[in-house]
């Protein structure tokens, strides 16, 4: 191979021109193969991949009725005056996502403060990664307090509602 030949019968100048086309054009990759010789010119991905959220598998959390964690006789302080505390069973977010109180924008909420719920009733939807996950009640009672607003982002294990 002569000094001008770099690889696959291409000169250094030809490879540079191809690299410029990839970098400045609409192409993201060029692959040239000639027998056993192969040249690949690929645009560098300057954006890091999106972070992977740390949460339990969505399918498992949605299917498991233990998604809402109950803490019997737990006391949760709210933004109410300091002397008012609400006690009861705390329903926590089973996954990271967006809390929705109703199945659709034009639909009635699943539950409201004062609603009576039974074990297995749907309390809310948490949207995570474009999947709508229904959260069911693990106990019977009356909804005493809803701690988050509709459309609010919730974290894993964040208290969402209190049922007494």
As a whole number of angstroms, the distance between CA 141 and CA 162 comes to 10
pLDDT per residue as tens digits for the range 116-156: 999 999 999 999 988 999 999 998 999 999 999 999 999 99
Is 15 in contact with 6 (CB distance < 8 Å)? yes
Summarize the confidence of residues 71-90 as an average pLDDT. 57
Residue 70 has pLDDT above 50, yes or no: no
Q: How confident is the model at residue 161 (pLDDT cuts 50, 70, 90)?
A: very high
């Amino acid at each position: 191979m002569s000094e001008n030949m770099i690889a696959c019968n291409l000169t250094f100048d030809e490879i540079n021109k191809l690299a410029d086309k990839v970098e400045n054009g609409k192409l993201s990759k060029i692959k040239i193969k000639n027998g056993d010789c192969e040249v690949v010119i690929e645009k560098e991905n300057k954006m890091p991949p999106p972070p992977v959220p740390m949460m339990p598998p969505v399918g498992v959390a949605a299917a498991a009725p233990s998604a809402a964690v109950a803490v019997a006789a737990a006391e949760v302080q709210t933004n109410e005056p300091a002397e008012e505390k609400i006690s009861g069973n705390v329903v926590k977010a089973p996954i990271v996502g967006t809390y929705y109180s109703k199945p659709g924008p034009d639909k009635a909420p699943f539950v409201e403060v004062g609603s009576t719920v039974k074990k297995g009733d749907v309390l809310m939807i948490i949207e995570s990664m474009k999947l709508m996950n229904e959260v069911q009640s693990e106990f019977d009672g009356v909804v005493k307090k809803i701690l988050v607003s509709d459309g609010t982002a919730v974290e894993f294990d964040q208290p969402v509602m209190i049922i007494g």
